[in-house]
Amino acid sequence: MLNCLMNCLSHRADNGTSSSDQVFSVPSFRRLLAINFPEWRQATAGCVSAMLFGAIQPSYACAMGSMISVYFLTDHKEIKQETEVYALCFVGLALFSVFINICQHYNFASMGEHLTKRIREMMVAKILSFEIGWFDQDENTTGVVCSRLANDTNVVSRILPWETSFNAALSIESNLVTMAYSVLALIT
C-alpha cells in the first residue's frame, strides 16, 4: 500500500499526470498486516474480547431458559430468591458486555491509529528523499503534500484496522454464538 502511494507521488513528478489517469497495482494486505505487526498484543486482546463478547448472547439465552423454571416453583420465598439471583446474573452479564465491548473497540481503534502514524512516518521519510526540484512543481507544494499525507493514510487506516478488524470481530462473535447455540441445542 505504501509503495502504491509512493509510486503515485513519484509518477506525478515524472510525467505530470494526475493519479486518476494512471492504474496502480492493488496494495498488499499482507504488507499492511506486517506493518501493523508491532500491535500484535492489541490484536490478540481485541480478538479475545470479540470471542468473549460473542459468548455473552448464549449466556443470556442460558440464563433466560433457566429463569423459566422459576415460574413452576410453588414456594413464594424460593421464587423471590431465584428471581433475585437471575436479575443479578443479567446485570452482571450487561456490565461484562459493556466492558468487553469497550475493550474490543479500544484495541482495534488503537491498532488503526498506530498503523496510520507508522504509514505517515514512512511517507514523510520517502517524500523527504525526493529531489528539491520535485517540491517546486505546482502539484507538489507544501499544502498538497500535507493534504496527501492526511488523506492517503486515512484511507489506509479505514481499510485495515478498523473495518477489517471490526468485521473479523463480528465474524468471531457470530461464529462463537452459532457454536454455542449448537452445543446448547445438542445438550437439551
| Planar angle of CA 126, 131, 133, nearest 5 degrees | 130
Q: What percent of the chain has pLDDT over 90?
A: 4
As a residue count, the chain comes to 188
Q: Which segment of 42-46, 99-103, 171-175 scores lowest on mean pLDDT?
A: 171-175
Domains of the chain by residue range: 30-187
Judged against a pLDDT cut of 50, whether residue 16 lies above it is answered with no
CA–CA gap between residue 7 and residue 21 (Å, rounded):
13
> pLDDT averaged over the chain?
76
Q: What is the pLDDT of residues 62-89, one digit of tens each?
A: 888 888 888 888 899 998 898 888 888 8
Q: What is the mean pLDDT of residues 167-176?
A: 64
Residue 106 has pLDDT above 80, yes or no: yes
Superfamily name and number for 30-187 = ABC transporter type 1, transmembrane domain (1.20.1560.10)
Most distant CA pair in the chain: distance in Å? 89
Q: Given a cut of 70, is residue 174 above it in pLDDT?
A: no
Task: Give CA separation, 152 vs 62, 77, 139, 162, in Å.
Answer: 47, 65, 15, 15
CA–CA separation, 154 and 156 (whole Å): 5
Given a cut of 80, whether residue 39 has pLDDT beyond it is yes
Query: Which pTM does this prediction carry?
Result: 0.64
List the helix and strand counts (H, then E) for the chain. Answer: 7, 0
Mean pLDDT of 126-149: 83
In this structure, the number of other CB atoms found within 10 A of the CB of residue 65 comes to 11
The per-residue pLDDT for 1 is 46
CA atoms within 13 A on the CB side of 138: 3
C-alpha cell at 69: 423454571
Q: What pLDDT shows up at residue 96?
A: 92
- Assess whether pLDDT exceeds 80 at residue 152: no
